[in-house]
Amino acid sequence: MSESTRITKKGQTTIPRDLREKYDLEPGDEVIWMDTDDGIVVKKRTRTSGRGMLVPDDTAEEKRQEIAEELGQRIRNCRDRNYEET
């Protein structure tokens, strides 16, 4: 299925009704805009868990843990810097 819509001066566009219904998109839902080699991909954001929000779903558990530890350390470092500045 392929449909086109126009973008307004404010950068807004309307998701076609058929696609909203097919993907159960309702007012207030969030979508993720991803820049890929093939162009823009839009996906509905699901809030069932945090998994897959930072890394693709097919990422190995070991790699996920490594990424989580690195992000945790970055957060701690930022907090420490902010604490030292006050």
- pLDDT score, position 53: 58
1, pLDDT greater than 80: no
Picking from 12, 31, 33, 8, the residue whose alpha carbon sits closest to that of residue 20 is 31
Q: Which pLDDT tens digit goes with each residue over 13-41? A: 999 999 999 988 999 888 999 999 989 98
Q: How far apart, in whole angstroms, are the C-alpha atoms of residue 42 and residue 33?
A: 5
Picking from 81, 78, 52, the residue whose alpha carbon sits closest to that of residue 67 is 52
